[in-house]
A and B are shown apart, each in its own frame.
Chain A
Amino acid sequence: MTKPTTSDVVTGLESLRTVAPQSVMAGTLIATGLADQYAAITGPTGITLYVAFNERGVSAVVPAPDEAAFLAIYQTRVGTQAFPGELPPRLASGIDRTLRTGKLGALAVDLTHLTEFQQAVLRKTAEIPPGELRTYGWVAREIDKPGAVRAVGSALNKNPVPVLIPCHRVGRSDGSIGDYAYGAEMKRDLLEHEGIDATAVDAAADAGVRFYGSDNTNVFCFPTCRHARRITDRHRVTFRSQRHAEASGYRPCKICRPAAA
């Protein structure tokens, strides 16, 4: 055998070039907040929800039948990478509580990449109690942007954390349930699960009914307000509009605030 040369050594050293394990990319992107992790959970109506999260909290909720469908939707809606992971205990218990109570509470959600307007819309929407339906116009008015009804609709359509922030509790200004980013059927199911009779809500809207009043209290409400639901048939009166209610001597409910001040 011939004596080894320096170039044999160099060739040997060059053969040590290898590829980094995939965990380097995933681990770095997760640690720097450039990518989220995700896990699947079961939603309130039994649907599978994929929950993406990072150190700021829950960053996305996507109802999807399987992982591939989730990743496709996540890619178009969020545009960054996500890697499978396990929900940290704090987030897992927070999500459980929110799904059980229907209230966002102290659950951390990451809305940092949204505009101030979008964040205001979502924070306000999170205040709507379970089983109650408000309108786009209501949200707009509540955040002091009464003219931004369509923008509210668009912000809710882009809600990154549906179900947790209940954009399904906001409907059209005529009182009907309206559309949903993941299909009107899912919106109706979520509302029914919270005790709303979706068919009755749409029927009332069709009939031109916007508000319920009680001739006991002379207060008018959104039909799904917890006070409106306590009005007995005998005392219930219906209104086509705020003007109609006020002209009849009724004042707006202080809980569901159905009218502009």
Chain B
Amino acid sequence: MDDGPVTTTMPTKQMDAGIDGRLTRRLARDVAATFPEVIVAHQDGIFSGVLRMVPTRHDAQDVTQETFIRAYRALLGYDSNRIRDLKLRPWLWTIAVNLCRNAARDRRRAAVTVPLTGDDRATADTVDVAAEGIADVIAAEWQRRLDVLSAAQRDAVVLRHVVGLTYREIATALDRPVGTTKTDVHRGLEQLRALLAAEIEEKP
């Protein structure tokens, strides 16, 4: 699997790149006026990915919000040329990935003294076993499989297939060579496939 054919089957990504180009041009002129649109364009992608990289939904909410807050403060200090040249999506993800690592580290420290309240990634207000409830159950199963992977593989797989970043964007976000991220994605996918196969065989 390489970048070429995949991007052509995923037109949303090209659209995103177009939106980001327009956003950075307008950000360069007026950060404050344009920034709410940056949030609108990227909050679902960032939240969806971060949700798989931190322990709880609450953490994901915090990290997503903090990503945008830090991005905004950084943009205020950049000159307009630097903003215009920004690759918005991988740049935002560089911030988000760092915050995810901090959140995971803080959780491990907190866990020494405070018992974790458990995985609350499922939406708290779904009590019914209706469509949403089932989606949460399925999401929890994928989370359990993703947690088997190494952090590097999990992050690369999530960024590639949950968020839809290109390998180049993933390499920027994770600060790793493009080749390494491709390997991580391929090995991660293969391991997930093997896990899935084993689960199906276990079932009577």
Contact = CB atoms under 8 A, between A and B. Distances in A.
Interface of A: 1, 3-6, 8-10, 12-21, 23-25, 27-29, 31-32, 34, 81
Contacts of A19: 44, 47
B69 A10 contact: no
B65 interface: yes
Nearest to A17: B48
B44 A9 contact: no
Contacts of A14: 161-162
B43 A20 contact: yes
The 3 closest A-B pairs by CB, nearest first: A20-B47, A13-B161, A20-B43
Given A9-B196, A28-B72, A34-B36, A16 B162 contact: yes
Contacts of A16: 48, 51-52, 139, 142, 162
A34 B32 contact: yes
B192 interface: yes
A75 to B, nearest CB: 14
Interface string B137-150: 01100100000000
Given A18-B51, A19-B44, A21-B47, A28 B196 contact: no
23 contacts: A5-B193, A6-B189, A6-B190, A8-B193, A9-B196, A12-B142, A12-B196, A13-B142, A13-B162, A14-B161, A16-B162, A18-B139, A19-B44, A20-B46, A20-B48, A21-B61, A23-B65, A24-B39, A24-B65, A32-B72, A34-B35, A34-B36, A81-B36
A18 B193 contact: no
A18 B65 contact: no
Contacts of B39: 24-25, 28-29
Interface of B: 32, 35-36, 39-40, 43-48, 51-52, 61, 64-65, 68-69, 72-73, 135, 138-139, 142, 157-158, 161-163, 189-190, 192-193, 196-197, 200
Given A4-B196, A32-B73, A10 B161 contact: yes
A4 B196 CA distance: 7
Contact of A9 (B139, B189, B200): B189
B193 A32 contact: no
B142 A18 contact: no
B42 to A, nearest CB: 9
A4 B43 contact: no
B35 A32 contact: yes
Contacts of B68: 24, 28, 32
B94 to A, nearest CB: 17
